[in-house]
Structure 1
Amino acid sequence: MYAVVDLQTTGTKTSWHDRIVEIAIVRLDEAGRVLDEWCTLVNPDRDLGPQELHGITGAEARRAPVFAELAGQIAERLAGRLVVAHNLLFDAGFLVAEFGKLGVTVPVDEERGLCTMRLAGHFLPTASRSLAACRAAAGLPPHRAYSALPGARAAAGLLAYYLERAGDPPPWAELAAAARQASWPVLPVTGVAPVPRGHAERREAHFLTRLVDRLPRQLDPKADAYLALLDGVLLDRHISASEADQLVATAGRIGLSRADAEFLHHRYLSGLAAVALADQVLTPAERLDLDGVAELLGLTAADVDRALAEAAEKPAAPVTQWQLSPGDQVVFTGALHPPREHLEVDALTHGLRTARKVTKQTRLLVAADPDSMSGVAKLARQYGIPIVTTTAYRAMLESLLTAGADARTR
């Protein structure tokens, strides 16, 4: 009878190329009883927008299916049912736009569906129009905002409240009859599994486990490509899901086995240990940093102890640490905090150049989410340009400032 929909999106306007990032559909019978629920994240193939609101990360969304893979299942769930949403104008607009990208039209709009927000004017005349306010006025419990499945459940509960007071048949009976006859496109149902929120929080196996397991071999200069990528990846002392994929792909391309990669990780850690002991003093902060890098590389505190002991006895060649220099070009992407404008002023103050597009001359991309799927992030990965968080970037600015001061005192 009814299909209650709620969406989370990258923004508010399809005309600005905003996309769906999460969709939930709760189906009800004629009395408002729940028949089933379905929800999935959607890969928008672009930047995720206001992540501080919807809370969806790039690591989650990048593993989710794109809308085209879900379109058949969505159409199947909505066909023959009266589509309901709280602010149907918004949800219908995004559904029409997403199906439109596939070259099909769907019978979803404000005139052919049911909007629980508009119905509040009749059933809850004193309430403001938000879903939370309507539920409160109806005596229904609060729900979790900015999450599609709780939102769809909340709107379904509000519809059930309206149905109890609407009489039989309800005023929208003709709309429901028309919805049963409406023509929906027949699209292939791919059978792709829905991807729920939080799936990325279940810690993935270390990326080393994805490499071929064989005995180490004599490494050739091509291994430097892996070490160079590793250096860029570890700039912010975090290996994002995208960066893990890059490391695995690079290892595969140059023929590194798991044992080869582990050998290179030990070599890299030894180089960091040599840097830390260059002044003959190991500070607590340096030890903490070495322990953190070791964990990211699949190594242990015991490996750090050995690297430090070896560096003290027979120093390894220190790794050349990546750093920003005056004149380097930096690009920013995503809903940044502090805002992009502030970060750009900081960059200029420190002698850096800023740009809005990534080119091969770009030295660094600063992203709200290291797993960003924005166009500039995709290009940065293609060009091998490091992507870091704002926190890591500001630490680099401090290092740049310190290096400049040291140069002036020499």
Structure 2
Amino acid sequence: MPHTGFATIDFETTGLFPGGNDRVIEVAVVHSDPDGSITARWDTLINPGRDLGRQDIHRISAAEILRAPTFAQIAPELIARLDGRVLVAHNAAFDTRFLIAELERIDYVPDVELVALCTMQLARVFLPDAGRSLADCCAAFDIVLDGAHRASVDAEATARLLAGYMAHARDRSSWDQALEQADRGRLIPLIGAPTPWVPREHAQPTGRHFLERIVETLPPFGGSDAQNEYLALLDRCLLDRVISQHESDGLVAMATKLGISRDACEKLHLEYFWSLGAAAWSDGVLTADERDDLATVAALLQIPSDQFDRVVAEPDERPSDPGTAGTTLAGFRLEPGDLVTLTGEMSRPRSEWHDALTSHGLVPKEAVTKQVKLVVAADPDSLSGKARKARNYGITVVDEAGLARLLAGV
């Protein structure tokens, strides 16, 4: 009977420590025949139920993760794709530690020892003069590594690296021994409903603007109270000049709850935009930064270009107000003494943000309670426990840019 072959795996994770709180957020599996030829590929994002750690490294957004399955959901197929095969990874100790930790979290313990090969360690034999990184090893074999720190890219490159090692080996005895050992030690199947794997390209937000998701025909608009409630939520959503997936969903839900149709929302957005324009022109000057800011908001709210031109025009050249600039928003502001909580891997050290908060008379707060005024997340769609609790309490969540804007007004 021929050996099953190799399964090259790669994980992207929230951090480096599977024994702590770090979790897997992406996995790729590449199958190869016993001779090293690639035969199949799979990859998926994984929802870890927490913040995503160093997003600048793996470049995975929380909005993408919202569409991804959990590890428990993909585990049955993952185990089936590893069963009877030699596991291969670049720095296999890292990937197998995370694999075992995630399996233990769902109470699955392999009853056999996993047979694994490490292409980083094998570089000592086949590439003694090269570096140990995946990029260095791939360069020695002219293997393309475009888009590193994406699981599918790294797993594919590692599988090709394995094939390169095998082609340069003097004999097959070590490979055959590993294949025979893996073939004898089969994993216990994990029973579970099939769950689609969701690669990054399938997890991207649809691009469908939240306005398009608001029902076109609803009962008549509920009046000024409903209008102000919707505009107040819109104002909070735009604090960081980003409308996150959670905020987009919240605006759609609010419009539906208040009976505000799509046409009414468009009018409210225009009213809000004219109010921002009036505030920008209040000193008689529209700076380049203010114009850029208005352009950002116009794009987020799908303000027609002719309306943007009217708002940014010199006051004496501006056409008459369309009758939608009557609302004045109190706006969301931070006041000295307000409690602010930070969550996730920030681009600036937490200590710097703490100093900035205290210098403005604000109080950094580790835990999220109902008394917290604002939660600042590395990603506004953060899945951290703090961000989830903030949303449950109705506490505003912004990114670092949003905090910077608010501090400028304190």
Structure 1 and Structure 2 fold alike (TM over 0.5): yes
Post-superposition shift, 1:92? 0.9
Cα deviation code 1:140-171 (max 9, x no counterpart): 45554212112111211121122123355431
Distance of 1:222 and 1:313 partners within structure 2? 19
| Counterpart position of 2:174 | 171
Contact 2:19 2:101 in 1 (8 A): no
Whether 1:69 and 2:79 are equivalent positions in the alignment is no
Alignment of structure 1 residues 271-286 onto 2, 5 Å = 271-279=275-283, 282-283=286-287, 285-286=289-290
Judged with a 3 Å threshold, the aligned counterparts in structure 2 of structure 1 residues 22 and 107 are, in CA distance, closer, same or farther, namely: farther
**Structure 2: 5+ residue runs without aligned partners?**
312-317
State the match for 2:400 in structure 1.
390
Mean Cα deviation higher: 207-216 or 53-62: 207-216
Deviations 1:112-133 (A, max 9, x none): 2222222223333333432223
Q: Which residue of structure 2 aligns with residue 354 of structure 1?
A: 364
Counterpart position of 1:204: 207
Distance change (3 Å), C-alpha of 1:315 and 1:265: closer
| Cα displacement string for residues 369-395 of structure 1 (whole angstroms, at most 9, x for unaligned residues) | 112111111112222222222223223
Summarize deviations over 1:266-308 as a string: whole Å, max 9, x none.
Answer: 3323433443454555555444433432321232133345677
Give the CA deviation at 1:235. Answer: 0.6
The CA deviation at 1:353 is: 0.8
Residue pair 2:232, 2:331 contacting (<8 A) in 1 also: no
Q: CA 1:316–1:305 in structure 2 vs 1: closer, same or farther (change >3 Å)? A: farther
1:114 aligns with 2:117: yes
Which deviates more from structure 2 when the two are superposed, residues 179-188 or residues 303-312? 303-312
Q: 1:103 aligns with which of 85, 102, 107?
A: 107
User: Counterparts of 1:279 and 1:141 in 2: how far apart (Å)?
Assistant: 56
Tell whether 2:302 aligns with 1:298.
yes
Contact 1:47–1:373, Cα closer than 8 Å, also in 2: yes
CA distance in 2, matches of 1:107, 1:300: 63
Instruction: Determine the structure 2 residue equivalent to 1:259.
Output: 263
Residue 381 of structure 2, aligned match among 361, 367, 371: 371
Would you say 1:23 and 2:33 are equivalent positions? no
**Letter aligned with residue 188 of structure 2:** P
| 1:235 matches 2:272 | no
Q: Give the alignment partner of residue 344 of structure 1, picking from 354, 365, 369.
A: 354
Rounded to whole Å, the distance in 1 between the matches of 2:199 and 2:404 is 33
Contact 1:163/1:170, CA 8 A, preserved across alignment: no
**What is the SS of the residue equivalent to 1:208?**
helix
Deviates more, 1:115-124 or 1:4-13: 115-124
Determine which of 302, 322, 330 is the counterpart of 1:320.
330
Shift of 1:225: 3.1
Alignment map for 1:119-198 (pairs within 5 Å): 119-138=122-141, 140-142=143-145, 144-188=147-191, 190-198=193-201
CA positional deviation for 1:228? 2.0
Name the CA shift for 1:122/1:386 in 2 (closer, same or farther; >3 Å). same
188-197 or 367-376: which moved more?
Answer: 188-197
Q: In structure 2, the residue corresponding to 1:236 is in which secondary structure? A: coil
CA deviations on 1:324-375 (whole Å, 9 max, x unpaired) are: 2111111112221221111110111111111112211111222221121111
CA distance in 2, matches of 1:210, 1:315: 25
Show the counterpart of 2:315: none
Match of 1:335 in 2: 345
Assess, with a 3 A threshold, how the Cα gap between structure 1 residues 312 and 183 changes in structure 2: closer, same or farther. Answer: closer
1:3 Cα deviation after fit: 0.4
Q: Kindly tell me: are residues 150 and 287 of structure 1, through their superposed partners in 2, closer, same or farther at Cα, counting changes over 3 Å?
A: closer
Post-superposition shift, 1:8? 0.7
Structure 2 partner of 1:408: none
- In 1, distance between residues paired with 2:17 and 2:349? 21
Matched, 1:83 2:59: no
Q: Is the 8 A contact 2:110 2:187 kept in 1?
A: yes
Shift of 1:219: 1.3
Is the contact between residue 273 and residue 311 of structure 1 (CA under 8 Å) also seen in structure 2? no
Distance 1:283 1:36 in 2: 56
Aligned-residue Cα RMSD (Å) equals 2.6
CA distance in 2, matches of 1:245, 1:226: 13
Which 10-residue stretch deviates more, 327-336 or 341-350?
Answer: 327-336
> Which amino acid in the other structure matches residue 371 of structure 2?
Q
Question: CA 1:139/1:198 → structure 2, altered by over 3 Å: closer, same or farther?
Answer: closer
Aligned to 1:14, what secondary structure does the other structure show? coil
Q: Return the offset for 1:311.
A: 4.7
**Conservation of the 8 A alpha-carbon contact between 2:7 and 2:88:** yes
* 1:209 positional shift: 1.4
**Counterparts of 2:185 and 2:167 in 1: how far apart (Å)?**
26
Paired positions, count: 399
Q: Residues 367 and 388 of structure 1 are in contact (CA less than 8 Å); yes or no, is this contact kept in structure 2?
A: yes
